[in-house]
């Protein structure tokens, strides 16, 4: 990138690292229409039921290896991605990626078939739970190495800026990943070059069995861009409209050429880290409390009912989603494994 195209981080001593937070505090949650809220609710519910099903299928031996469920964190991917221009903006995340795929409306069948390792899976069965991609939706995966998606996301943002396509990259990573060194190398370059990227820390309070307090000197993750002059936002990740409200402000800032934003979304994972998890690092009560008091899906449902949406309609929706998920599961179970010859395809593009 030519040096003169770089807008250096402002020298203004009043540089408002908190400017976005203030704007967000003022604007508050997104003012969704009933239809919009219904759509968000539907997506979250689909993720929840899909993940529950995946958990069951794992138990039956139909899914193998690592399988990280998104249950509890649905409002994050749904709230954020509902604001993106699909196909124009790009998304990248780690291995806990089923929800992000579903939030983009990707067919649950091909996601579930990837989980069972079948030819019809979105990666032809060759990637599995952790490695799903959909270039069609500008969804760039699905990465297994903690933290690696962060510079990759900045690379996607670099390409947006280079091509001047107006796109913004949303790069998700966990509270644990936030301690990797490459994250900070990326913050520096992203800010220096004013890349159109929103860093999203999904703070679900734990990295495997390690609570944030045991791994992080600064647990207010939204502050971690300060040294790089990246404004931070502290967002309730259990409230889908709050998430949506926050991303609108962040997107405006980035699309307006303001450079990167760092959003911390406080959320919670109800299930174990992966399928095997001793669950000794937190109490059952803690999980129960979150489920009962902070559940994003229950909250959205309550809001819909408060607005006078017919309860029957919600029941109907629940039924439709269940059958959609069951259909995906049947498809994933019955569709064939990859052809043996697939073993050798896609290693390189070209034949040399």
Partner 1 sequence: MATAIKMPALSPTMEEGTLAKWLVKEGDSVSPGDILAEIETDKATMEFECIDEGTVGAITVPEGTENVKVGTVIAVLDGDASDVAGEAAEPEVKDVPGEGKDVGREADTDGAQPPETKPAKKERANDPEIAEGTSMTSVTVREALRDAMAEEMRADERVFVMGEEVAEYQGAYKVTQGLLDEFGPKRVIDTPITEYGFAGIGTGAAMGGLRPIVEFMTFNFAMQAIDHIINSAAKTNYMSGGQMRCPVVFRGPNGAASRVGAQHSQNYGPWYASVPGLVVIAPYDSRDAKGLLKAAIRSPDPVVFLENELMYGKSFDVPEVDDWVLPIGKARIVREGSDVTIVSYSIGVGFALEAAEKLAGEGIDAEVIDLRTLRPLDADTVLESLKKTNRLVVAEEGYPMCSIASEISAICMEQGFDYLDAPVLRVSDEDVPLPYAANLEKLALIDADRIVKAAKKVCYKD
Give me the residues that bind ligand TPP (CB under 6 A), please: 96, 144-146, 174-177, 202, 204, 206-208, 273
- Contact partner at residue 96 from Mg ion, partner 1, ligand TPP, none, CB < 5 to 8 Å by partner kind: ligand TPP
CB of 147 to Mg ion, least distance (A): 12
| Residue tagged 């219904």 (tokens) | 38
SS3 letters across 9-45? CCCCCCCCCCHHHHHHHHHCCCCCCHHHHHHHHHHHH
- Contact partner at residue 275 from ligand TPP, Mg ion, partner 1, none, CB < 5 to 8 Å by partner kind: none
Compute, in degrees rounded to 10, the torsion defined by CA atoms 89, 47, 69, 287. 120
Q: Does 60 bind partner 1 (CB under 8 A)?
A: no
Q: Does 69 bind partner 1 (CB under 8 A)?
A: no
CB of 144 to partner 1, least distance (A): 4
Under rule CB under 5 A, which residues in 165-184 are in contact with Mg ion? 174-175
Asked if 269 contacts 201 with a C-beta cutoff of 8 angstroms, the reply is: no
- 70 vs 193, beta carbon nearer ligand TPP: 70
| Residue tagged 């050429």 (tokens) | 257
How far from chain centre, in Å, is Cα 127? 18
The helix/strand/coil state of 248 is: helix
* Size (the chain), residues: 352
- 3 vs 213, beta carbon nearer partner 1: 213
108: left (phi over 0), alpha (psi -120 to 50) or beta: alpha
Q: Which residue is nearest to Mg ion (CB)?
A: 174
Q: Interface with Mg ion by CB under 5 A: which residues?
A: 174-175, 204, 207
Q: Interface with partner 1 by CB under 8 A: which residues?
A: 64-66, 114, 117-119, 121, 123-131, 143-147, 176-177, 179-182, 207-210, 214-216, 278, 280-281, 337-338, 340, 342-344, 347
């Amino acid at each position: 990138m030519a040096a003169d195209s770089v807008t250096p981080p402002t020298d203004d001593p009043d540089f408002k690292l908190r400017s976005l937070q203030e704007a967000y505090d003022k604007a508050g949650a997104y003012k969704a229409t009933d239809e919009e809220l219904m759509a968000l609710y539907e997506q979250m519910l689909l993720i929840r039921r899909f993940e529950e099903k995946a958990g069951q299928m794992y138990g039956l031996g139909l899914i193998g290896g690592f399988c990280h469920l998104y249950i509890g964190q649905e409002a994050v991917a749904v709230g954020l991605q509902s604001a993106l221009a699909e196909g124009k903006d790009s998304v990248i995340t780690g291995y806990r990626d089923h929800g992000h795929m579903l939030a983009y409306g990707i067919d649950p069948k091909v996601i579930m078939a990837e989980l069972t390792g079948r030819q019809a899976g979105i990666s032809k069965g060759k990637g599995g739970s952790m490695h799903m991609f959909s270039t069609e939706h500008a969804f760039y995966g699905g990465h297994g190495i903690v933290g690696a998606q962060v510079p990759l996301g900045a690379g996607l943002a670099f390409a947006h800026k280079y091509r001047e396509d107006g796109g913004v990259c949303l790069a998700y990573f966990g509270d644990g990943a936030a301690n990797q060194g490459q994250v900070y190398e990326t913050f520096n370059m992203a800010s220096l070059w004013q890349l159109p990227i929103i860093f999203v820390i999904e703070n679900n309070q734990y990295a495997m069995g390690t609570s944030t307090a045991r791994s992080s000197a600064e647990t207010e993750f939204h502050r971690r861009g300060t040294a790089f002059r990246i404004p931070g936002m502290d967002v309730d990740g259990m409230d889908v409209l709050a998430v949506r409200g926050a991303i609108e402000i962040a997107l405006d800032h980035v699309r307006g050429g303001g450079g990167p934003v760092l959003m911390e979304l406080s959320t919670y994972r109800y299930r174990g880290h992966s399928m095997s998890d001793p669950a000794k690092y937190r109490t059952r009560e803690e999980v129960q409390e979150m489920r009962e008091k902070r559940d994003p899906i229950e909250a959205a449902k309550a809001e819909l009912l408060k607005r006078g949406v017919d309860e029957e309609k919600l029941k109907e929706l629940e039924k439709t989603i269940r059958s959609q998920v069951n259909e995906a599961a049947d498809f994933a179970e019955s569709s064939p494994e990859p052809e043996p010859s697939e073993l050798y395809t896609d290693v390189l593009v070209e034949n040399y």
